[in-house]
Structure 1
Amino acid sequence: MKKFLTSAFLAVAILSCGGAKSSNEVKLTYNLGQEGKTLDQNLATSSSSTQIFGLTQEGLFKVGKDLTIQNGLVKDYSTSEDGKTWTFHLKDNIKWSNGDEITANDFKFSWLRVLNPETAAEYAYMLYYIDGAEAYNSGKTTADKVGIKVIDDKTIEVTLKADIKFFKAVLTHAIYLPSNEKFVKEKGDEYALEADTLISSGPYILKDWVHNSQMEFVKNPYYYNKDAIQVDKIVAKQIGDPNAALNAFNNEELDIVSIPAESYEKYKNDPRLVATTEATAWYSEFNVTHPLLKNKKIRQALHLAVDREELVSVVYKNLNRVADSFTPQGLGMDFGKVVPSFDPVKAKKLFTEGLVELGLNPNDKVEISMIAGDTPISKKHVEFIQEQLRKNLGVELNIELMQFKERLNRMNQKNFAIVSAGWGADFLDPINFLDLWVSGGGNNHTSFANKEYDALIKKATVSPSDKERYEALLAAEKMLADEMPVSTLFHRSTYRLINPKFKNVVLPAFGADIVFNYVTVDKDAK
């Protein structure tokens, strides 16, 4: 999952233990940012939804305290000799938050619901590793032809279309979460819209939901490992201004907070500061059906005209890293220097050539629009790009700032020329980034389509050879940098101040930004 469209420097915060009902109650409050489009696990794509699923849902596997993949609802599993058939045995005594048993059918129902063409799930392609999944999602076959088989209530068998070496990592993705068939059908169109139309398989229940304000979570009494959860209540606030969150931390109202880039110098030697190098990419997406952006030279020029080094220095105070490739480091493969560097002279030349190819006069005024988040850092980000394009190409960039939900809708409708966007790793493999841009992909809002690119991604998906996978993905990186449906800008790091009272706060480079399941409280810490 995770689309990062709220800002390029999210503020995340956690309140200290306390509470009205009991002096022993442990309460944490953190800042979710802007509310995502949905909490339906079969439809969600945003980072905020991923964060909530980390509280309320659990799948076959999960991220452990040491950031390794650990068993979630699965007790054990086996694979066939050819690596194509996986058999999963569920734990005993696992239940939904309403007391229903979690069964193998909950996984089958959920995955087929994602693949059902009528669902129109953007992440359906994430299940294409399963035999027959793509054909069913494309309307070419029926659900019974998909390689998902319930053996009994505790056993599910999955047949893959090839020996997918990274399939276990894929299973940590939220799109593979279970869904309670009876509950989902009972709620119908109201499912996941309010607290009382949600059901949990994970450690917390969404007790109260004030839209665009806050969510309150309490421990799930039916969670199989509830006694290991030390935090009784979690409140997810929605605060758009990271400076306000930092002020709250300084007022001892918050215990964990992401610091804004401009505040780093003040806190860089603070022992409470923790840095996380994230597996995230930040970029501008170009709608290649736009009258101007359909020309490759125009897209290349818009990228080359932006000084990414200066962007990272001026806007982000050198806390992020200029991207050499679309795929961040830390995912098992390093593709080296692929993304073209700042070159305003070449940019102007390509821009002029592109305009001529389109039958336009290079001396005429050129205007184009860009949509972006409405947070302070997002505004600085796009205004920097605006000035770079004005100075280096003479382009007038018209900026539209908007809230998260509206921006997601505009992207899904492909109602934009350029959009400021970001993507974070859902699992630890480069394919999670590069398969974004396959033809017709659910998260490919650019409308970029290239058969050669698709073939490279397919080869990297099914090949059992690490060398072949690397070569295919490197070729895809190079094609992306040439065709330029996206202008890759930087990879992010996040810096958080953490109250030493809170131990074992897990900050993964992929999946949910913060994992709360392992948090412990040392009330004597100073």
Structure 2
Amino acid sequence: MKKFITMLVTFMLLFALAACTANSDAGSEPKDDGNGDSKEKTEKVLYLNNGQEPTSFDPPIGFDAVSWNALNNIMEGLTRLDENHQPKAATAEKWDVSEDGKTYTFHIREDAKWSNGDDLTADDFVFAWKRLLDPKTGSGAAFLGYFIEGGEAFNTEKGTADDVKVKAVDKKTFEVTLTSPQAYFLSVIANPAFFPINEKVATENPEWFSEADSFVGNGPFALSEWNHDSDFTMVKNDKYWDAKNVKLDKIHWAMVDDTNTEYQMFKTGELDSSDVPADLAESLFKEGDVKVEDQAGEYFYRFNVTMEPFQNVNIRKAFAMAVDQKQIVELVTKNKEKPAYGFVSYGFKDAAGKDFREANGDLLKTNVAEAKELLKKGMEEEGYSTLPEVTLTYNTLDSHKKIAEALQQMFKENLGVDVKLANMESNVFATDQKALKFQLSRSSFLADYADPINFVENFQTGHSMNRTGWSNAEFDQLVKDAKNESDENKRFDLMYKAEKILFEEAPIIPIHFYNQVYLQNESVTGIVRHPVGYLELKSADKK
């Protein structure tokens, strides 16, 4: 009997230990070491929030923040930005540059593969870059390819695809010829718009990018699941040329468009990172857990100069001067942003080492008295006894709503103008804004590459990012000359002049420059948030 009791106690202890082990490992799976041996190792899963449904995972179409953070991790271009935000070898292991600085020859890695196992070739880049520029594609990023010889002509239907100077020298050698030497070229092509596309896959299925089952990428992660308007998941891509240095096993992206909900999910461990809700910003900053990093870009509003009453420059200036940017960042957003009184953000040095923003100064500041005078003058010029009704439109997000409401109040208090507010979902909003269907609308710009020309080029006549209907021949010429100017002193002078014209004409209202303010799980390391560019998860890890 004594022996039986001893055996029973031993059995119960073993059962209890097994139960404890099972509970501690709940939700994780044993990892295979690649040699067929199963090891007890917890799967490393990073939980992030994308905010909204991605616009598209088609590289030249997903030209926005809700698409390119993910795209940057399921695909890869010839170059990739490193932890110091500089372009380094990626799908291309090296390149040669001609003596005149205009022709680049990229040597693609022999082990560069697609996630379906296909070999990645130079032809995939030829196909993708010509598709970016093809007017039938309708890419808002096509302008980035205008520095390729023949690129602008093809995109504006003044030339053909054959005129675009990109070619496959052989299976693993890709050559591109530029219109002029571009100091920032290697940074530009790290942008998702220049990612390759598997020509065979895209030809067989033109909608290859729309579902996880059909998506084929070449990045450190592969798209494994996509529940539209809900969430999507990436897993480590074992076909990636540098897979041995990718530490995460999986990344799960939620789609939550409310900052307070996102924060609560972070607090409960459902997310590993979160934005900072404005209402809690002061206390969270005091606690010292908030991280703040630079980001090149701006939050602003666009006037539609083809729609009354904003065809009048004095009325536009009146509305712009009635906005108090300092009050918005201090009382509304509360995330330590810098108020914007120009369009090019801080952080870009000219040839003399001066910061562009500081050198060109404040081009438009709050001035209520002058705003009232300009409104009166503009109404007289247009023969208005009563200002036409004005509607301010923004895309649905709690933070956008708060800023819109602040502007509404400022227009009422400072100009005596009642402005209506309207909101709509992001995808519809973007389409309608491009079609000039709004009078006054919320907008934003995040730099595509690290140079001020990327900011000012947005407002060229007919540019896909203009979206104001504004046109100025002198401005257009200054931007064109700057793009072809190799002397840095002269180039910056041209850009300074162009930005001043932009604010003399006032087709926009600047609000604040962006920064990256966030909370992050202490067990997560290695995430790189580029000031110009995208979220980098290749080196991310989770303890």
Band the TM-score falls in, shorter-chain normalisation: over 0.9
Task: Say if 2:235 and 2:250, in contact at 8 Å, map to a contact too.
Answer: yes
Separation of aligned partners in 1, 2:439 and 2:187: 34
RMSD: 1.6
Match of 1:6 in 2: none
Shift of 1:271: 4.9
Separation of aligned partners in 2, 1:282 and 1:186: 40
Letter paired with 2:191: H
Match of 1:155 in 2: 173
Separation of aligned partners in 2, 1:385 and 1:271: 31
**Does 36-45 or 458-467 show the bigger shift?**
36-45
Task: Say if 2:86 and 2:187, in contact at 8 Å, map to a contact too.
Answer: no
Separation of aligned partners in 1, 2:438 and 2:406: 19
Match of 1:44 in 2: 62
Match of 1:478 in 2: 500
Choose the corresponding residue for 2:378, options 354, 370, 394: 354
Choose the corresponding residue for 1:297, options 272, 292, 314: 314
1:225 and 1:244, CA in 2 relative to 1: closer, same or farther beyond 3 A? Answer: same
Separation of aligned partners in 2, 1:459 and 1:313: 39
Separation of aligned partners in 2, 1:125 and 1:495: 30
Separation of aligned partners in 2, 1:144 and 1:226: 36
Task: Say if 1:36 and 1:404, in contact at 8 Å, map to a contact too.
Answer: no
Aligned-partner SS, 2:536: coil
Separation of aligned partners in 1, 2:431 and 2:299: 19
Match of 1:136 in 2: 154
Match of 1:431 in 2: 453
Matches within 5 A, 1:386-425: 386-425=408-447
**Does 213-222 or 335-344 show the bigger shift?**
335-344
Task: Say if 1:287 and 1:294, in contact at 8 Å, map to a contact too.
Answer: yes
Match of 2:201 in 1: 183
Separation of aligned partners in 2, 1:123 and 1:253: 34
Choose the corresponding residue for 2:81, options 50, 54, 63: 63
- CA deviation vs aligned residue, 1:73-118 (integer Å, no higher than 9, x gap): 0111111111111111111111111111111111111111111121
Shift of 1:40: 0.8
Separation of aligned partners in 2, 1:373 and 1:42: 22
Match of 2:519 in 1: 497
Separation of aligned partners in 2, 1:335 and 1:240: 32
Aligned-partner SS, 1:156: strand
Shift of 1:467: 0.5
**Does 17-26 or 259-268 show the bigger shift?**
17-26
Query: Is 1:194 paired with 2:194?
Result: no
Separation of aligned partners in 2, 1:371 and 1:272: 34
Match of 1:231 in 2: 248
Matches within 5 A, 1:90-169: 90-169=108-187
**Does 464-473 or 498-507 show the bigger shift?**
498-507
Match of 2:538 in 1: 517
Task: Say if 2:45 and 2:542, in contact at 8 Å, map to a contact too.
Answer: no
Task: Say if 1:82 and 1:163, in contact at 8 Å, map to a contact too.
Answer: yes
Task: Say if 1:366 and 1:395, in contact at 8 Å, map to a contact too.
Answer: no
Letter paired with 2:377: E
Task: Say if 1:261 and 1:319, in contact at 8 Å, map to a contact too.
Answer: no
Choose the corresponding residue for 1:316, options 309, 333, 350: 333
1:18 and 1:185, CA in 2 relative to 1: closer, same or farther beyond 3 A? Answer: farther
Separation of aligned partners in 2, 1:272 and 1:344: 38
Aligned-partner SS, 1:335: helix
Matches within 5 A, 1:304-343: 304-317=321-334, 319-332=336-349, 333-336=355-358, 337-343=361-367
1:459 and 1:338, CA in 2 relative to 1: closer, same or farther beyond 3 A? Answer: farther
Aligned-partner SS, 1:328: coil
Separation of aligned partners in 2, 1:498 and 1:43: 30
Using structure 1 for the length normalisation, give the TM-score: 0.92
Task: Say if 1:95 and 1:222, in contact at 8 Å, map to a contact too.
Answer: yes
Task: Say if 2:127 and 2:197, in contact at 8 Å, map to a contact too.
Answer: yes
**Structure label with greater radius of gyration:** 2
Query: Is 1:241 paired with 2:265?
Result: no
Shift of 1:269: 4.1
Match of 1:88 in 2: 106
Shift of 1:19: 4.3
Task: Say if 2:28 and 2:42, in contact at 8 Å, map to a contact too.
Answer: no
Separation of aligned partners in 1, 2:279 and 2:114: 44
1:365 and 1:164, CA in 2 relative to 1: closer, same or farther beyond 3 A? Answer: closer
Query: Is 1:21 paired with 2:39?
Result: no
Choose the corresponding residue for 2:369, options 345, 368, 388: 345
- CA deviation vs aligned residue, 1:183-202 (integer Å, no higher than 9, x gap): 112112x2322112321110
Letter paired with 2:373: K
Question: When you count helix as a share of all residues, which structure comes out higher?
Answer: 2
Aligned-partner SS, 1:58: coil
Once the two structures are aligned, what percentage of the paired residues are identical? 30
Shift of 1:225: 0.9
Separation of aligned partners in 2, 1:345 and 1:77: 58
Aligned-partner SS, 2:529: coil
Query: Is 1:369 paired with 2:377?
Result: no
Letter paired with 2:109: K
Task: Say if 2:219 and 2:237, in contact at 8 Å, map to a contact too.
Answer: yes
Choose the corresponding residue for 2:278, options 261, 265, 276: 261
Task: Say if 2:342 and 2:364, in contact at 8 Å, map to a contact too.
Answer: no
Aligned structure 1 segments of 4 or more residues deviating by more than 6 angstroms: none
Task: Say if 1:18 and 1:26, in contact at 8 Å, map to a contact too.
Answer: no
Shift of 1:353: 1.3
- CA deviation vs aligned residue, 1:191-238 (integer Å, no higher than 9, x gap): 322112321110111111111110011111211111211111111100
1:173 and 1:18, CA in 2 relative to 1: closer, same or farther beyond 3 A? Answer: farther
Aligned-partner SS, 1:234: strand
Separation of aligned partners in 2, 1:146 and 1:366: 47
Task: Say if 2:124 and 2:199, in contact at 8 Å, map to a contact too.
Answer: yes
Shift of 1:18: 8.3
- Count of aligned pairs: 502
Aligned-partner SS, 1:51: helix
Higher relative contact order (CA 8 A, sep 6+): 1
Letter paired with 1:224: W
Separation of aligned partners in 2, 1:37 and 1:257: 21
Identify unmatched segments of 5+ residues in structure 1: 1-16
Aligned-partner SS, 1:496: strand
Shift of 1:306: 0.9
Task: Say if 2:338 and 2:513, in contact at 8 Å, map to a contact too.
Answer: yes
Separation of aligned partners in 1, 2:209 and 2:304: 31
Query: Is 1:33 paired with 2:33?
Result: no
Separation of aligned partners in 2, 1:411 and 1:199: 31
Task: Say if 1:370 and 1:417, in contact at 8 Å, map to a contact too.
Answer: yes
- CA deviation vs aligned residue, 1:500-521 (integer Å, no higher than 9, x gap): 2112221211211x31111123
Separation of aligned partners in 1, 2:287 and 2:109: 43
Choose the corresponding residue for 1:449, options 471, 475, 486: 471
